[in-house]
Chain A
């Protein structure tokens, strides 16, 4: 009787979350899966077309373009962002003067709304009067029109994404503080230098945190939307048109909700597959203390 009452109490307290998950996640996801097999423009009833939307992707040139752009963004932000965050965290954990202040400075960008940050970075990147080019001019380098040049627009967005690196830095810092002192003492006794100690002690011990951050970064970077939507609108010449932006345009600008749903499901499958590959592939390199 008591167990049953406990169950009902638990269900009652979790019901808002359960209800929210069903109404706002599971039902829309199921509907989106159904729409992905239909031709649907929102203003007409959906028409079942089987796998046509999925087949259409193979011959949609823009689909492959946005896949390549998104892969470039993800590779850039994860491959550069991960070592950078680990490096900053290691420097901050070195207990030098002012490290708390620097930690706050590094974390601060994560508190800035992404729209405000994007507008600010547009000014920094501005061709003639932008701070980036002004600083380059001081050292005699003529800057470029970063966001309007197809060759530099995507690297500029990746660089901007690296600015918002505070959360992984904090996680890496916490993981580094959690490394047992005894291991460092043993490493010192073995005569390891700082670099060897970092590679053989610190990195293996923080590897679960690295794996977590890499998976989260992959998921985040494959879903990037606001930054290119605000800063470049996918241009110039589709150079920064990323997957999520294409899904949005297909749904609301081109009124092809069925095709957009299929694109979204493929995005989900790609993200899941990549996350799974990383998690399984990293098993050899990740060291769990337990």
Chain B
């Protein structure tokens, strides 16, 4: 055993020289800078920008980045597409190695802002960068609300979206309906949904008229079309068990009951991972009407450009339709500068560039979305990828539009809402289910408030 150990440790001069030579060769071959920096022109400050978009949307933001890199000679922006961006940014910021810019979701803002993990825009006030100051009045009012947390602008906008109703005009014609008359009230939506639904002999749904669980990504949106709020920002309380909310979810449940919870689930399950592809229920013609965002036009253009469709403001309860209001949900992608990022000044320069009307309109056009700015350039809608962008724009600029609750527990709220929606769709008693959901969310809010208070005291 000891002989073997000795022979193992024995080092000849030749071996030592060989190892040294290999080390030297490795050192000589080591690139002077990482391969990802290879294309960066000398003399530029490189900043890293994490963004969640890929494919067409990723190409659009890359085009904006490329234009910025070409139009000045001081900064080089390196965009890195990042999936699961929230948790990765959290780890990077917590680990002290954040990127210079991160493309967040709006629900991240309260969390990161209260932790002081992202910089507020007023922190750059004294900076002399020779550029015009950031003007918050340029944003549409609801967008400005989304960017502001506790009275300070924390992030910039990076396109926004609202949700509308898409309808298949060919299906309308096929059932003898006027393809230019989409429903404007929920009662009419129900009538049309029933008329457009096609059932097989065994009761299976072959084509859905309209289902609220399709695609099911916004389980808390329905009260908006009954004029209700699911959250009281001033009281920091969940209000989803209110009367109007109960009416909203009873309307949702009525659809499930009409077509059968199991049949509708089974129909939806076919499209589990096919949304926004050629097999998407609406794009493939398996659904006649669907609630979706403006980006849907992008996917229709890509996968079924011949689809004869329209898009309009989502219908609302009768009393709202008569009152001349225009409710809806506005959401946005946002741009943040993490605190302790390596190049805050350069990041701020790129940030301001991104907040210009021209850049946001270019990005919005490429994403088929409405403009997030207060006023829209005259030519914005001309040749826009979404021929119905006007409807989405009208919702975005409406004084009645709502934004997601600005609470640190939004993710829990959202996850609990998905479960409650499932239960309601399966036939659970609506007031009981919503009361339980409200109680659970308020518990989360109270727990979070207690934690914040303890941290403040500490």
Residues of A in contact with B (beta carbons under 8 Å apart): 2-3, 5-6, 9-10, 12-13, 39, 41-44, 47, 49, 56, 61, 122, 126-129, 142, 144-145, 147-150, 235-238, 249, 252-255
> Do A41 and B115 contact each other (CB < 8 Å), given the known contacts A5-B9, A150-B426, A237-B423?
yes
Identify which of B2, B267, B272, B411 contacts A253 (C-beta below 8 A): B411
Q: In the complex, are the beta carbons of B2 and A150 less than 8 A apart?
A: no
Q: Which chain A residues border B52 with CB–CB below 8 Å?
A: none
Contact residues of B between 415 and 448, Cβ < 8 Å to A: 415, 418-419, 422-423, 426, 440, 447
Nearest-neighbour CB distance to chain A for B337, whole angstroms, equals 14
Q: Which chain A residues border B33 with CB–CB below 8 Å?
A: none
Nearest-neighbour CB distance to chain B for A288, whole angstroms, equals 31
Q: In the complex, are the beta carbons of B447 and A6 less than 8 A apart?
A: no
Q: In the complex, are the beta carbons of A43 and B115 less than 8 A apart?
A: yes
Q: Which chain B residues border A149 with CB–CB below 8 Å?
A: 262, 265
Q: Which chain A residues border B115 with CB–CB below 8 Å?
A: 41, 43-44
Q: In the complex, are the beta carbons of A237 and B419 less than 8 A apart?
A: yes
Count A-B pairs with CB separation below 8 Å. 98
Q: In the complex, are the beta carbons of A127 and B90 less than 8 A apart?
A: no
> 14 A-B pairs, CB-CB below 8 angstroms?
A39-B455, A41-B90, A41-B111, A41-B115, A44-B115, A61-B440, A129-B270, A145-B269, A150-B422, A236-B419, A238-B419, A252-B84, A252-B86, A255-B111
> Do A148 and B265 contact each other (CB < 8 Å), given the known contacts A42-B94, A56-B447?
yes
Q: How far is the CA of A152 from the CA of B266 in the complex (A)?
A: 13
Residue of A nearest to B206 (CB): A128
Residue of A nearest to B84 (CB): A252
> Do A47 and B454 contact each other (CB < 8 Å), given the known contacts A127-B265, A128-B204?
yes
Cβ of B1 under 8 Å from chain A:
yes
Q: In the complex, are the beta carbons of A148 and B451 less than 8 A apart?
A: no
> Do A147 and B454 contact each other (CB < 8 Å), given the known contacts A44-B115, A252-B87?
no
Cβ of B225 under 8 Å from chain A:
no
> Do A128 and B267 contact each other (CB < 8 Å), given the known contacts A9-B8, A43-B115?
yes
Q: In the complex, are the beta carbons of A237 and B422 less than 8 A apart?
A: yes
Nearest-neighbour CB distance to chain B for A1, whole angstroms, equals 9
Q: How far is the CA of A253 from the CA of B272 in the complex (A)?
A: 22
Size bin of chain B's contact surface:
35 or more
Identify which of B1, B422, B454 contacts A49 (C-beta below 8 A): B454
Identify which of B90, B270, B447 contacts A255 (C-beta below 8 A): B90
Q: How far is the CA of A252 from the CA of B92 in the complex (A)?
A: 12
Q: How far is the CA of A255 from the CA of B458 in the complex (A)?
A: 19
Q: How far is the CA of A142 from the CA of B268 in the complex (A)?
A: 18
Q: Which chain B residues border A235 with CB–CB below 8 Å?
A: 418-419, 422
Residue of A nearest to B116 (CB): A44
Contact residues of B between 243 and 288, Cβ < 8 Å to A: 262, 265-270, 272
Identify which of B91, B269, B440 contacts A147 (C-beta below 8 A): B269
Residue from the set A6, A10, A13, A41 with the largest chain B CB neighbour count within 10 Å: A41
Q: How far is the CA of A235 from the CA of B216 in the complex (A)?
A: 13
Residue from the set B91, B202, B268, B451 with the largest chain A CB neighbour count within 10 Å: B451
Nearest-neighbour CB distance to chain A for B219, whole angstroms, equals 11
Q: In the complex, are the beta carbons of A43 and B112 less than 8 A apart?
A: yes
Q: Which chain B residues border A56 with CB–CB below 8 Å?
A: 447
Residue of B nearest to A49 (CB): B454
Cβ of B117 under 8 Å from chain A:
yes
Q: How far is the CA of A147 from the CA of B418 in the complex (A)?
A: 15
Q: In the complex, are the beta carbons of A9 and B269 less than 8 A apart?
A: no
Q: Which chain A residues border B265 with CB–CB below 8 Å?
A: 127, 145, 148-149, 236
Identify which of B2, B116, B412 contacts A5 (C-beta below 8 A): B2
Residue of B nearest to A249 (CB): B415
Residue of B nearest to A130 (CB): B269
Nearest-neighbour CB distance to chain A for B434, whole angstroms, equals 14
> Do A127 and B5 contact each other (CB < 8 Å), given the known contacts A39-B455, A43-B115?
no
Q: In the complex, are the beta carbons of A6 and B1 less than 8 A apart?
A: yes
Q: In the complex, are the beta carbons of A5 and B5 less than 8 A apart?
A: yes
Q: How far is the CA of A43 from the CA of B202 in the complex (A)?
A: 55
Cβ of B170 under 8 Å from chain A:
no
Q: How far is the CA of A288 from the CA of B409 in the complex (A)?
A: 54
Q: In the complex, are the beta carbons of B458 and A254 less than 8 A apart?
A: no
Q: In the complex, are the beta carbons of B418 and A47 less than 8 A apart?
A: no
Q: Which chain B residues border A237 with CB–CB below 8 Å?
A: 419, 422-423, 426
Q: In the complex, are the beta carbons of B266 and A128 less than 8 A apart?
A: yes
Q: Which chain B residues border A42 with CB–CB below 8 Å?
A: 90-91, 93-94
Q: Which chain A residues border B440 with CB–CB below 8 Å?
A: 61
Q: How far is the CA of A148 from the CA of B269 in the complex (A)?
A: 7
Q: How far is the CA of A252 from the CA of B90 in the complex (A)?
A: 8
Q: Which chain B residues border A253 with CB–CB below 8 Å?
A: 86-87, 411, 415
Nearest-neighbour CB distance to chain B for A282, whole angstroms, equals 38
Cβ of B234 under 8 Å from chain A:
no
Q: How far is the CA of A10 from the CA of B4 in the complex (A)?
A: 11
Residue of B nearest to A133 (CB): B266
Q: In the complex, are the beta carbons of A47 and B458 less than 8 A apart?
A: yes
Q: How far is the CA of A274 from the CA of B270 in the complex (A)?
A: 40
